[in-house]
Structure 1
């Protein structure tokens, strides 16, 4: 399967093919839901998306267990080294060595004209996660989310393709990445709190009488305080608005890419519906979309994807 995808993507060099294979394996192992979504893309598009995932995972691995004893300065140094390796390869045309994630992502970046600035912003947000534990207002959170979520949508956009100028679709692609991350922030309040993080604007929580002590009470008692519920209702509505902005961008994408993005948007937005159905009891259970529903959406997406490929002749 991977061989045919690489053939469709025009990747012939043996060492480059091996780098893409490694990235695909990383995606399959660590990003099972995301990996499944890539099956809705045309074969020629999949290796590039796997490469972007592989690089992002490389940075995530440095951040893993950031509440353990491992030195923050050491991890900051590792992120900086990764940044310099990518900069030297992508901008200064220096060799990547035997690093498969760098080899593949540099190839993708050059092929699809993905600028260094997007990777730089991504890594800057990753560095923030080493030390920043709270966000005083939405502007501060937006700065973090631009690098951690919006740039992912912007990186993937040229791979998906557009029917008009890329810059017209860019705000919607960024909004989709933001919507996904904001959904995670609401769903994972309890989990993030255990790790010492709160990814919601402190001033907006405070307007409902919510601070870290109130959240800690919810965590300890496995219950959602009424004040927290009111705050979450407000956050929920904000995320819904971001999804609506992102939804308008689907028709701006190349037809062969629309089924994949539509399926991802549907499934992630249904996590919000599940949170609402649980009456925001997010401290006692995790909102998920059931496997039957995921399979139903994926099956419908596959059908639409095949139809789009037949109509538009895309491999």
Structure 2
């Protein structure tokens, strides 16, 4: 007979895995190529992040502030008590406690989600705060898992992990310019409104993103072997998406949501996998 506690824990992690599969093809592909020891905790982090994001972006007929407040309270209660009957939070609290993920990172992430309820236009200061909470903090949670208690490695790779998260988030901002503005009334890039987005502005944003990608790659190349391929695949996917956006005019970018077809994602996965195995990346 299976241990009921082990079954409960396994089911909780499987729920986060299912959430990842349903919501993100690209992250699913990346996670599946991680060493198996990393997969469950990274699924747990993604499930937590995804559900918090859904509160602010999906449930328009609900009191989002109340839902987010309740989610924050339930999150830290789960971490402190080391249990939750919410499977997403149970898997997440196990990961947080096992890998010593700092409460400050979790708080920064949840604060960025709350900012989406209160800010429609971002200045330089709250743009940087949002990037840190929504992207850099999540990257550092994952880095805690990859380093698995090795503080020296964590400190060495922390800067690059932040740059990788920032690059991904800024590409998302460009990709989603149209839907963020039309569906949610938001514009993230500081001092730039939807109507003022032009080719000159786009090029300046792209220079900033390109620097983030370059600095992120330095750290990716130093990741533990079991983490390298999965992170590199996510990097290659986002870099490809960035190059596609960069090749388009500003008017094309604000005219539609840009994406990489699933068949192309699979091709990128295969190409990166074999190049890595052959020592070419």
Q: Tell me, yes or no, whether TM beats 0.5.
A: yes
Which has the larger Rg?
Answer: 1
Give unpaired runs (5+ residues) of structure 2: none
Distance 1:46 1:29 in 2: 16
For these two proteins, the number of residue pairs brought into alignment is: 271
Which residue of the partner structure matches residue 115 of structure 1? 102
- Confirm whether residue 297 of structure 1 aligns to residue 257 of structure 2: no
Native 8 Å contact 2:82 2:93 kept in 1: no
Deviations 1:180-199 (CA, angstroms, capped at 9, x unpaired):
00011122212211021001
- Confirm whether residue 155 of structure 1 aligns to residue 162 of structure 2: no
User: Helix, strand or coil: the match of 1:248?
Assistant: helix
1:1-315 superposed matches below 5 A: 13-65=6-58, 68=60, 70=61, 74-91=63-80, 93=81, 95-96=83-84, 98-137=85-124, 139-161=125-147, 164-194=152-182, 195-202=184-191, 205=192, 211-212=193-194, 214-215=195-196, 228-280=198-250, 281-303=252-274
Distance 1:292 1:102 in 2: 33
Distance 2:11 2:230 in 1: 26
Displacement, 1:306?
Answer: 6.8
Distance 2:246 2:162 in 1: 25
Deviations 1:264-295 (CA, angstroms, capped at 9, x unpaired):
11110121211122233212343333444422
Flag the structure with higher helix content. 2
Give unpaired runs (5+ residues) of structure 1: 1-11, 206-210, 216-226, 309-315
Deviations 1:148-168 (CA, angstroms, capped at 9, x unpaired):
111110000122238852111
Distance 1:111 1:46 in 2: 14
TM-score norm. by structure 1 comes to 0.80
User: Helix, strand or coil: the match of 2:134?
Assistant: helix
